[in-house]
Amino acid sequence: MARLVMKFGGTSVATIDRIRTVARHVKREVAAGYEVAVVVSAMSGKTNELVGWVREAATLHDAREYDAVVASGEQVTSGLLAITLQNMGISARSWLGWQIPIATDDAHGSARILSIDGTALTDRMAQSEVAVIAGFQGIHLPSGRLTTLGRGGSDTSAVAIAAAIGAERCDIYTDVDGVYTTDPRVVPRARRLDKIAFEEMLEMASLGAKVLQVRSVELAMVHQVRTFVRSSFEDPDAPHMGAAEAAGTLICDEEEIVANQMESQVVTGIAFARDEAQVSIRRVADKPGIAAAVFGPLADAHINVDMIVQNVSADGFTDITFTVPTADFERAKDALAKARGAIGYETLEGEADVVKVSVIGIGMRSHAGVAAEAFKALAAKGINIRAITTSEIKISILIDAAYTELAVRTLHSLYGLDS
């Protein structure tokens, strides 16, 4: 019998009534003949409340105890859903991460999954019992301590479990009905995509799209887990919900996407990230070892660097510009100020009021002039580009935040995504 993993986020399980709706979604798939595992998040707002309690108890706290507290939200939800399913006549039991077990490293608060032994799960699922799994959590086996996977970690839990048990598909139920060409709140004519390649979704997730956690997409791509993003707010009993044409977006291998569609669609989507800050160091010596002197202190401070641009050397000096997360902006400047003697720059400048806009599409591999078209269209709108980075399937530009919506709408129209 085919296996299916269903994941429900916090808004989908925010109240008992919504948990009953989730149970109806599960019942539909059980009736369709699937062996079902369900992964749940904490009820909406609960994790923030738990984190707040921890910080109120102590600003500096034991990360192991932090995990013990914040993982409890998913434990509550999994138990409530199992009870609701049982009340509907469906055999179900709840599972915590350590009971499966989901083995992780000991990076408390942002642990990474090392392995999952799905034997106990599949044995019980084969007996027509729905497994209701608390997402976001695992166990560090050597210490026996509970761990959490970081915010949005339930997506990662679901995909990892789907890979471990050989599920036919992993359905991610959320408050939107799929992945769109861009944020519909910015571009009302944005379209829902029927399919998107793993690589494209990974770029969109990492570049600002908030539908899925980046790590979950990485896992799906590595383990070839077909992932379907769909809405939990549609009527679970509607005829189309169990059909192949159910509304949503399938994230899959690019070979599964029709070849002629790939040829005609150069760009798949436009993503943007408002949480970027620009840092520039002026007149630094252009010599071997300078890049290490600049980025070494940032790495030591655990600050991720994104876009990097170095000007052509003039008179033996150069400028280096890069971006960091806005939350790390002040720390980055502080780290560079402390390392000024080793780096030898003349001035340090920064700007937090910037946005990264990205054009993404696997069709870009075989089409020339995609970047040139973007630059020309933005110039016609008077939008200045601060920095540019490219890869095989994406172009990212850094612009002033005031031009965000204009830039996104311009590029969305330019590449024919409105129609």
Residue 126 has pLDDT above 90, yes or no: yes
365 band by pLDDT with thresholds 50, 70 and 90: confident
Q: Closest Cα to residue 103, out of 38, 69, 149, 68? A: 149
| 40-50: pLDDT as tens digits | 999 999 999 99
Residue 344 has pLDDT above 50, yes or no: yes
Q: What pLDDT shows up at residue 260? A: 47
Residue 210 annotated as binding? yes
Question: If you write DSSP's letter for every residue of 192-212 in order, what string do you get?
Answer: B-SEEEHHHHHHHHHTT--SS
Q: Which tops the pLDDT comparison, 221 or 313?
A: 221
3-state secondary structure 5-38: EEEECHHHHCCHHHHHHHHHHHHHHHHCCCEEEE
Token pair listed for 158: 């679901």
Q: What pLDDT shows up at residue 407? A: 96
Report how far residue 160's alpha carbon sits from residue 5's, in angstroms, rounded to the nearest whole number: 10
Report how far residue 305's alpha carbon sits from residue 319's, in angstroms, rounded to the nearest whole number: 16
Residue 47 annotated as binding? yes
Average pLDDT over residues 314-341: 91
| 82-119: pLDDT as tens digits | 999 999 999 999 999 999 999 999 999 999 999 999 99
Q: What pLDDT shows up at residue 262? A: 46
| 143-163: pLDDT as tens digits | 999 999 988 899 999 999 999
DSSP bridge partners of 169: 4
Residue 9 annotated as binding? yes
Say which residues have a Cβ less than 8 Å from residue 119's Cβ, sequence separation at least 6.
none
Residue 8 annotated as binding? yes
Instruction: Name which of 2-6, 127-131, 366-370 the model is least confident about.
Output: 366-370
Mean pLDDT of the chain: 92
What sign has the CA pseudo-torsion 297, 299, 305, 309? positive
Residue 237 annotated as binding? no
Residue 21 annotated as binding? no
Q: What pLDDT shows up at residue 57? A: 95
Share of the chain above pLDDT 90, in %: 75
Report how far residue 268's alpha carbon sits from residue 251's, in angstroms, rounded to the nearest whole number: 13
Q: What is the pTM of this model?
A: 0.86
Residue recorded with tokens 């996407």 = 257
**Three-state SS at 351:** strand
Residue 10 annotated as binding? yes
Q: Where are the CATH 3.30.2130.10 domain residues in the chain?
A: 269-414
| 168-201: pLDDT as tens digits | 999 999 988 899 999 999 999 999 999 999 999 9
Residue 129 has pLDDT above 70, yes or no: yes
Q: Output the CA–CA distances (angstroms, integers) from residue 200 to 169, 230, 257, 387, in the order listed.
A: 19, 18, 12, 22
Report how far residue 75's alpha carbon sits from residue 227's, in angstroms, rounded to the nearest whole number: 24
Q: Where do runs of H (alpha helix) occur along 197-286?
A: 198-206, 214-223, 259-264
Q: The domain 269-414 is classified under which CATH number: 3.30.70.260, 3.40.640.10, 3.30.2130.10, 3.40.50.300?
A: 3.30.2130.10
Residue 242 has pLDDT above 70, yes or no: no
Residue 174 annotated as binding? yes
| 15-34: pLDDT as tens digits | 999 999 999 999 999 999 99
Cβ atoms of residues 80 and 117 within 8 Å: no
Sheet-wide strand order for 269-285: 308-310, 317-325, 269-285, 347-360, 394-400, 387-391
Q: How far is CA 153 from the centre of its chain?
A: 9
Q: Where are the CATH 3.40.1160.10 domain residues in the chain?
A: 3-254
Residue 175 annotated as binding? yes
Residue 389 has pLDDT above 60, yes or no: yes
Average pLDDT over residues 200-223: 88
Cβ atoms of residues 393 and 365 within 8 Å: yes
What is the second-level CATH architecture of the domain 3-254?
Answer: 3-Layer(aba) Sandwich (3.40)
| 248-265: pLDDT as tens digits | 999 999 888 865 454 457
Q: Which amino acid is present at 85?
A: L
The winner for highest mean pLDDT among 91-100, 346-355, 388-397 is 91-100
Omega within 30 of 0 (cis) for the link into 297: no
**Three-state SS at 92:** strand
Residue 7 annotated as binding? yes
Report how far residue 211's alpha carbon sits from residue 182's, in angstroms, rounded to the nearest whole number: 11
Instruction: Name which of 40-49, 56-65, 334-343, 361-370 the model is least confident about.
Output: 361-370
Report how far residue 128's alpha carbon sits from residue 131's, in angstroms, rounded to the nearest whole number: 9
Residue 271 has pLDDT above 50, yes or no: yes
Q: Output the CA–CA distances (angstroms, integers) from residue 193 to 267, 305, 398, in the order listed.
A: 12, 30, 26
Residue 189 annotated as binding? no
